Amino acid sequence: MNELLSDIYVIKERGAFGAFKPEINIYVLAGPDGLVFDAGYGNRSAVRHLMRELGAIGDRFRSKGRPFAVRRVLISHAHPDHFPGLIPLRAELGLKIMIPARSAEVIRSAKDFYGSMDAEEEDEFLLRRRRAGGMRSAVRRMLMRHFYRRLYGLHFLPDPDELLPDTAELDINGERWSVFSSPGHAFDHISLYSPARGVLFAGDNVLRSITTWLGPPNSDLEAYIDSLERMLDLPKLEVVLPAHGSPVTNPRERIREIIDFRWKRTMQVYEALEARDGGATMDEVVRALYAGEGRFKHEMARGWVALTLRFLESRGVAERSETKREIRFHAVAGASERDIHGHLGKPVGAAGGKTDSTSRAGKNGRKIS
């Protein structure tokens, strides 16, 4: 563990297999009435590590004659790298489990959790048609469940101790913290903020050097941008403590950069449609944007591309044509950038006319990360 700010510690839980199981940060707001933010993985070695590290923080407090007790645990959202540690934390330390009401619905049971990522439904959300053989999707589903159970140590939670509404005020170690809803990456995502300190626990919404994964069925592009813009409006913002990676010490700049990046990506998808007479399927857009990249990259990119196509459709600048075999998207000719970005906000680096040249510059041959 590591004390990042006064009495705010991070405990890192190791990942495995790269993006399949990311390293995750668990934060401890340490003091006489402390709180753990995000619960991490639920497999035995992860839980043992967490207990050891929490114990070490307690020892450090006691050695200085300071009172120490951690009483509550709160998660940012119901993804499998954030919630499985809840049950072990309650069992081992008697922590009270507080979670957003919306997260509670997802992790109540295996049925609810897997129901939210059903394979056929996923195909529909991903805007493609596939003849999903019963056998094939059943096998896929089984493998996925096995994978999650073993690798993440899933524990479901039928009985949380306290459900949080969309906004709430918490007293943690005598300091006031606000919980507010910040959907986008996940529909149930919340953030935890100290107006006095200017510290924001932003979960997966603001990461320092990697792009937040976005994809159906739980993400929403417009909601994501709205959440980021709300963060820019916070009265004081000194540091963002993200769920993955190191602290973001230039939070406003980084948040603007993320908004800008989503805007640029949205333009690229529109341009990919515009470049094809017969329109393009979601997979064709992915192949156009990630030409020369491997299958894994393509797989990971499907989510945000599907979301972006839906967004363009909602803006009235793309239209779909459906046949039994596929769903194609067509650019509506003559759409202006303003028609396209709408809610996505003005690109940051681009005052006035600079917008066009910067956001369109990448069209040919630029490396897309």
Q: Which residues in this chain contact Zn ion in the complex, by CB under 5 A?
A: 79, 204
Give whichever of 188 and 284 is closer to Zn ion, judged by the CB atom.
188
Q: How far is the CB of 78 from Zn ion (least distance, A)?
A: 9
Give the Cα separation of 179 and 359 in Å (integer): 35
Give whichever of 13 and 337 is closer to Zn ion, judged by the CB atom.
13
Q: Give 248's DSSP letter.
A: B
CA-CA distances (angstroms) from residue 291 to 131, 201, 364? 25, 36, 11
Give the Cα separation of 93 and 290 in Å (integer): 47
Phi, psi of 37 (to 5 degrees): -110, 120
Give whichever of 79 and 302 is closer to Zn ion, judged by the CB atom.
79
Angle between helices 221-232 and 251-274 (to 10 degrees): 150
Cβ-Cβ contacts under 8 Å for 24 (sequence gap 6 or more): 12, 13, 15, 38, 40, 41, 81, 82, 243, 244
Cβ-proximal residue to Zn ion, closest one? 79
Give the Cα separation of 185 and 93 in Å (integer): 30
Q: How far is the CB of 77 from Zn ion (least distance, A)?
A: 6
Give whichever of 10 and 214 is closer to Zn ion, judged by the CB atom.
214
Which alpha helices (H) appear in 153-250, and where do they start and end? 221-232
Q: How far is the CB of 221 from Zn ion (least distance, A)?
A: 15
Give whichever of 12 and 360 is closer to Zn ion, judged by the CB atom.
12
185: left (phi over 0), alpha (psi -120 to 50) or beta: alpha
Q: How far is the CB of 130 from Zn ion (least distance, A)?
A: 25
Give whichever of 204 and 260 is closer to Zn ion, judged by the CB atom.
204
Q: How far is the CB of 244 from Zn ion (least distance, A)?
A: 9
Residue corresponding to tokens 């449609």: 273
Q: How far is the CB of 213 from Zn ion (least distance, A)?
A: 7
Give whichever of 80 and 279 is closer to Zn ion, judged by the CB atom.
80
- Tokens for 88? 């072990």
Q: How many CB atoms lie within 10 A of CB 240?
A: 26
Identify whether the C-beta of residue 270 lies closer than 8 Å to the C-beta of residue 362.
no
Q: How far is the CB of 79 from Zn ion (least distance, A)?
A: 3
In the chain, DSSP assigns E strands to 2-5, 8-13, 24-29, 34-37, 70-74, 96-100, 162-164, 167-172, 175-181, 190-194, 199-203, 239-242, 318-322, 327-331
Q: How far is the CB of 207 from Zn ion (least distance, A)?
A: 10
Give whichever of 82 and 90 is closer to Zn ion, judged by the CB atom.
82
